[in-house]
Structure 1
Amino acid sequence: MPADGASPVPRVLVGTDLVAIDRLASMLTAQPDLAGEVFTERELSYCSGRRRRHEHLAARFAAKEAVFKALGTGLAGGVGWRDVEVVNAASGRPRLRLAGAARSVAGTAGVRSMEISLSHTAHLAIAFAVLVCDGAVAP
């Protein structure tokens, strides 16, 4: 805690991504194995039960990209698509689950909580990731 007694402001990492749903749908159709390389079984199962499957997949794709941007990794350093998973709470609220290299990078960065917001229309999907880290913002 700073000498003046004020609480330190946590460090926040932010990432966002926008996906054209038709483009992702075309990629998944042209490369049938791609879905299994990008999405976890849980994500594929969730989306396959939805009426607008490609909209939900595109939102999850955007979420993965948003987290990569927040962590500052992209697909480098061993971080893979399936290392970031979007799961849903009982309420339906999307939550993030990290594994592998993404979990390691988040641990090194001091990430203590993560939030994800997803939205989609018939044409576009967007995700906004916020990762709150230990340690204060430098003055």
Structure 2
Amino acid sequence: MPTEDARSPTPLASRILVTVVALATLAGPYLADWNETHIYNPRWPPHAKFHNAQTMLLGTALGACAIAFAWRRAADARASLRVAVVFGALYWLTQMGSILFPGAAFVDPERAGQGMIAGLPAQIVISVVLLGLLGAALALARGGPVRQS
């Protein structure tokens, strides 16, 4: 079983996977929410729009942090990658947990049945796929010899 050398570089594939998730985290909230169903929804009170904006900005911040930690030069590149994975995962983990709050729904009542992928809410499918990519990034960083990237 190979031992982990803290000074070993992080595999390029791991960094790329984290970056893909980070870009989805940066752009996804705006693609999903900067429209008439969310930020321009006239039925939403100002405070709901405030929290929607907060969520979009949080995605921007978490995605930027994930990219910064994935690509920074550090004495312990694998530890930096693990931090990048945490930043990359937080948005998607909290999105999955949001449905557990009272009165929460994946879509507004007038959009019932929309936003589904393979019969499941798109939010859950996207979260699971992106979290899977982060898991793959970790697995790649743990296994086998690595090359300088």
Q: Which has the larger radius of gyration?
A: 2
Q: Give the TM-score, by structure 1 length.
A: 0.30
Which structure has the highest strand share of the two?
1
Which structure has the highest helix share of the two?
2
Q: Give the TM-score, by structure 2 length.
A: 0.29
